[in-house]
Amino acid sequence: MAFPFLLKQTARARRASPMIRRGVREGVSSRQLMGILQKAGLGIRRQTLLDIMRLMEGEAAIGPVLSALGINRMPNPLRLPPALTKIRRAFSFTVRVRGSVETTGEPIERFVTVTTDTLLTRGEIEALADEAIEGERGHYDIVVSNLLLVGGVRAGAPGLL
């Protein structure tokens, strides 16, 4: 069985991973990110930081590919990056939900995670996210205007879960 990358890392590296993910998303350099982590008391080896950043950049790069996918097309599972953390299903997809707050009408953006053991089309993934929002109406309090598949990962190496 293939172990997720972050499970092999130190506890400090695992705690630093959300900050690293945000830094990658915002385009922060590794040198700047190293300084930020040290100030937060989460200093890690430079090579570990670079490894985590490289894998997270792979996750970020698949987003535009999935967003441009036809509504009735399935993503290529071999192009999906492996998950950095343990996931319970074979695939995990992130759907961006835009709409307005039901009570005030102000614009809002949320992200919904859809996990599945079978590969689905982009339309099916977005429909599951919409169902999740409708099923948890009290929790989300959002009137949906737009759904878009923006990310996805697979569990472990191909053929291994």
CA distance 151 to 92: 8
In a domain, 13, yes or no: yes
Residue 139 has pLDDT above 90, yes or no: no
Residue 31 structural domain: 5-61
pLDDT-based confidence at residue 57 (cuts at 50, 70, 90)? confident
Residue 71 has pLDDT above 90, yes or no: yes
Neighbours of 124 (CB within 10 A): 16
In a domain, 121, yes or no: no
In a domain, 95, yes or no: no
Residue 160 has pLDDT above 60, yes or no: no
In a domain, 70, yes or no: no
Give pLDDT, residue 68.
Answer: 93
Residue 41 has pLDDT above 70, yes or no: yes
Q: What is the pLDDT of residues 73-122, one digit of tens each?
A: 999 998 998 887 788 899 999 999 999 988 888 999 989 999 999 999 99
CA distance 27 to 17: 15
In a domain, 25, yes or no: yes
CA distance 155 to 97: 24
pTM given for the model: 0.75
Q: Which runs of consecutive H residues, i.e. helices, occur in the chain?
A: 11-26, 30-39, 46-67, 122-135, 137-140
Q: How many domains does the chain have?
A: 1
In a domain, 44, yes or no: yes
In a domain, 47, yes or no: yes
pLDDT-based confidence at residue 67 (cuts at 50, 70, 90)? very high
Average pLDDT over residues 121-129: 96
